[in-house]
Structure 1
Amino acid sequence: MLSLLYRIISRNAPLVVLPFAVVIGTIGYALERRFGPKPPTIDYLNSSVQQQRYLRQQANEENRELVPDSLSILSPRPTNN
């Protein structure tokens, strides 16, 4: 009788092991989410694209006064026609 039970379990091992693996995995996942380390917050993922664009435009407008307009210093090249 025991050998018959062993044969049935060995032939259908995935069907026997899968429910136990699912339960153990679910419990482990829940414990890791509750007691595990918290993921670091990444600032640029928390803000919207429009907000990031607005902040970049503000920074560019503030820095334009600091950087000289070097193209206006150059005179145009003479062209030979």
Structure 2
Amino acid sequence: MPTGDGSTPIDTLESDRHFQIWRYEVGHAQLLLRSVKSDHHASRIDVLFKAVKAIDLPTTFDGLRIEREGDQYAVSEVG
């Protein structure tokens, strides 16, 4: 189901790319995880979480797995 801003919510995501916490905005309750462009990757990947109530994550991930669990998401490192 589209979110109204051109993005689509997901149930699962798995990537072997390097991600890092790029931005956390308390006032807007948003968390942005980003994998930047590199010599090996021609595009950037942004994963934006809205209505964030709590986070307990490392600042970087070598590989990323996101799984929806009801109205929450579990974020972990792949591998």
Query: TM-score, length-normalised on structure 1?
Result: 0.16
Higher relative contact order (CA 8 A, sep 6+): 2
Q: Based on CA coordinates, which of the two structures has the bigger radius of gyration?
A: 1
